[in-house]
Structure 1
């Protein structure tokens, strides 16, 4: 069994999307369980072409609120052909209770074998989260990992790269640093062919997971790509992640999956393709004390705004400054 952790927007689904095709000749059948706020189907739909079986758990974290759903999903997995299970954990998952759940219950350990945890770290964003409990979660995910893979390294400053190496040497000096996704694919092949000793994971210091994050979802009409980007970049950074799927107007592609992280200097990611009929066009917002009405109003203003000039991305909904000040007030309370 492989647990994939990483803070919101670290690149966990992208990691799986690139890893799974490399396991097409693996001795065991990949099975993916994807957990995320409200609508895990958005990310799971992007994996449908690279793995035969994807199960989405659209609710709270599998470490607590959705632990029963995870148990049921693991129990329902067929033994033939022998599976190797990948659990992509919600970005705000506390890894301690999750690892305990899959290792301490004999029925899971006996069926799925040793547990590896690969932690995906956005090197540019390491420990730059707005809130202290976010930084604690990010460190906990790294501290319990058996393997660590960093990305966005070229975008990180030398100072930031040094800080990450120093921090990891202190909080988890025994983790194996994975240099590339093909290297980790070799680890998975070895896991599928022989028993690997279970990594020694430190479960003595749980961080006391509390759900400071909330999520809200809104349905989306068909949008022009340029309007979608203008809307996404208009939100303040305390909205940690926006992701979703939408049908595109005036595009050779029928739809796109999109996401935006809390890095204000990073443009939204747009992944164009066909949208499965079962996928509802929508946007999921993850943050603290979200104002759903303000978000809905910003969409209405976007649709009513005149078309942008060439290259223009600026768009400022009227209620978003109030949303940001509301957030700052809650943080100070």
Structure 2
């Protein structure tokens, strides 16, 4: 029977990094993974970053709906249509605002008999755990029915912070194992059992945020990216984009995580939806994004002149 592993966690916690880590290790050990990615806006941007290691037919991107509720039927249908493979394993990345408890209660209903009951892994950003203000309740929800909790952003973290976070995690989910990514034994993950931990009551609509995207023109230099990211308000928890820079032929991908950190890296291939700027979080509005782009271009014109 084939294991289904669902990766959940707050925006920017490191879910995609963990998914790539698991996928790479399973491929290297002779497994045959199938990947499903979910995001409010343009999941294809993330999906294309996997195709240098996995065939496009073995990855699916689900955009525009949340798989913990309105998108659950689409997710279930996608899982049931996954072809049987030798040493198959299915890896699902939920969007960062998912109601993880609802997701697990719905996903296991109506799956084909060849699949094992779904297992959930939570990714916890050690540095920013429970520093989300009004979103702390959602972040806490995302670890309560997981069988494994993976700690990320562990560099230069004081020992007392590590002790505090692990204590809080154990209080919310005493049945889950907690470890760093490098400590994971990939052979044990498919053998994990679904969590029997009782989750605290959570108002589902708190996980539903606004999101939007707009076309992004070619930018004269990378300073425009930093201008755009700094202009957009902090209420917008995730900023992502993909476009060309200057005279470069290849595309560049960038993102701003909830803590305000901006990262820029090469994009793998051509974005099938074209160059885009997208945001997730309260305050997301196409006019706001267009204004941020326009202002960044004007600022760079002033610098050049």
Question: TM over 0.5, yes or no?
Answer: yes
Query: Which of 12, 36, 41 is the equivalent residue of 2:39?
Result: 36
Q: In the alignment, what sits opposite 2:175?
A: 174
Instruction: Return the structure number with greater relative CO, CA threshold 8 A, min gap 6.
Output: 2
After superposition, what is the alpha-carbon deviation per residue over 1:241-294, rounded to whole angstroms, capped at 9, x for unaligned?
00121122144x611121101213x2x111214432524210110111323312
Q: In the alignment, what sits opposite 2:279?
A: 285
Task: Give the CA RMSD over aligned residues.
Answer: 2.3
Larger helix percent:
1
After superposition, what is the alpha-carbon deviation per residue over 1:116-154, rounded to whole angstroms, capped at 9, x for unaligned?
2111111111111131xx211211111111111111122
Q: In the alignment, what sits opposite 2:195?
A: 200
Distance change (3 Å), C-alpha of 1:243 and 1:155: farther
1:58 to partner: Cα distance: 0.2
Tell me how far apart the structure 2 counterparts of residues 236 and 263 of structure 1 sit (CA, whole Å).
12
Within 5 A, what are the aligned runs for 1:225-244? 225-244=222-241
Distance change (3 Å), C-alpha of 1:231 and 1:204: closer
Count of aligned pairs between the two proteins: 297
CA contact (8 A) 2:228 2:293 kept: yes
Distance change (3 Å), C-alpha of 1:277 and 1:60: closer
After superposition, what is the alpha-carbon deviation per residue over 1:281-315, rounded to whole angstroms, capped at 9, x for unaligned?
101101113233122112112112235869xxxxx
CA contact (8 A) 1:219 1:280 kept: yes
Paired residue secondary structure (1:24): helix
Q: Which runs of 5+ in 2 are unaligned?
A: none
Query: Which of 211, 217, 220 is the equivalent residue of 1:215?
Result: 211
Q: In the alignment, what sits opposite 2:126?
A: 123
After superposition, what is the alpha-carbon deviation per residue over 1:1-30, rounded to whole angstroms, capped at 9, x for unaligned?
101001011111122223211112445410
Paired residue secondary structure (1:298): helix
Q: In the alignment, what sits opposite 2:100?
A: 95
Q: In the alignment, what sits opposite 1:263?
A: 259
- TM-score, structure 2 normalization: 0.89
Q: Which runs of 5+ in 1 are unaligned?
A: 311-333
CA contact (8 A) 2:152 2:181 kept: no
Q: Does 1:147 align with 2:142?
A: no
Distance change (3 Å), C-alpha of 1:89 and 1:274: closer
Paired residue secondary structure (2:186): helix
1:44 to partner: Cα distance: 0.7
Distance change (3 Å), C-alpha of 1:294 and 1:69: same
Tell me how far apart the structure 1 counterparts of residues 104 and 40 of structure 2 sit (CA, whole Å).
20
